[in-house]
Structure 1
Amino acid sequence: MKMFAAIKPTSLMRAALLLGVIMTLSACSGDSDLREWVAQEKAKKGAPIPPLPVIKTFETFTYNDQDQRDPFSPSTAELQPANSGPRPDENRAKEPLEMFALDSLKMVGTVGGGASMEVLVKDPGGVIHRVRRNEHMGQNYGRVTAIAEDHIDLVELVSNGNGGWMERPASIALGEK
């Protein structure tokens, strides 16, 4: 034990440093393989670069209709006041079939004949309703205008996008859906 006590810490540190330098130098001597591989990779030719695409030239067009109506501005018919034209009666009590979309309703038959003909309409819940002319159905204020044995004709009120309303015809055929 006295032998180790005679070694000073500074000489121990010098020996460790010398050992580290020797190991580092021995690791550097093996990098000739790496240098060869890098040289081989650099010597290889790369893939050819594809040619640039041909730029298409477009024919110019001169717009000569500046004095005409702008196709992107609303027409005079669309600028009519919102209070002109048809309007839904907001004070009218809603009928049972007005809470369903028109395409979810199904005509299943008719009752009676002539002017007193009624149509049988099945709602999505499976309940069958009797509907007469001038009654309402569908979510767009649809009013029944005509009843035939094979179809119902309606007129719906839909928004025209400018705060007004416009009428749109619709129909439901017998056995549809």
Structure 2
Amino acid sequence: MASPRGPFSPSPLSAAADDDDNEDSSRPASLSPAPLRDDNDDAADAADAAAAEERQQPVDIPLTLTASTVLRQLPRDATAALAAAAASYNNNNGLPSSSNDKVVVRFKPVGSAPPLPGSGGGGGNGNGDVRRKIRASQPFGVVVAFVRRALRVPATASVFLYVNAAFAPALDEVVGNLHQCFKDANDQLNVSYSLTPAFG
């Protein structure tokens, strides 16, 4: 009676080949296949050897931190500035250190935009510029509302405001942060305004 073959039982060919009563002497003693070596094993062994060799050799290529895609540490002055900003942020309950202070915002018309009232005298210098003080903790939306109110722009019309004639900040951006980052040499934030898109 024949026994059922399992996955690891010898095949009938190899059993017949191992039998001493086999008349065919030209057949090899065993027909079981030799373990196959995959070509990928050689490549993997070579890659492992190369990686081990690289780990042992020190890297002699001079690389500055600015050339690196990931900085290992910040420069000393940037680290100190971030620490000071974090300390002032934490001491003022999340508000900028100058939240109760007012910052000077200089308004300048662009294109065919009318000058703000008061630009001919005391608040400006005669060329349409107006300077106003705004609390640093106010969002930029307050500045937009001020310009709309001063120009008496209808609710259906648009007003476009740009910082340093370069970009339009979000309405929820804090004026103090914009002032701190983009103020000019006269310690004022330059805001250009227009009734049509003017920049970018």
TM-score range, shorter chain: under 0.3
When normalised by structure 1's length, the TM-score is: 0.26
Q: When the two structures are superposed, what TM-score results if normalisation uses the length of structure 2? A: 0.24
Structure with more of its chain in strand, by fraction? 1
Q: Please say which structure displays the higher CA radius of gyration.
A: 1
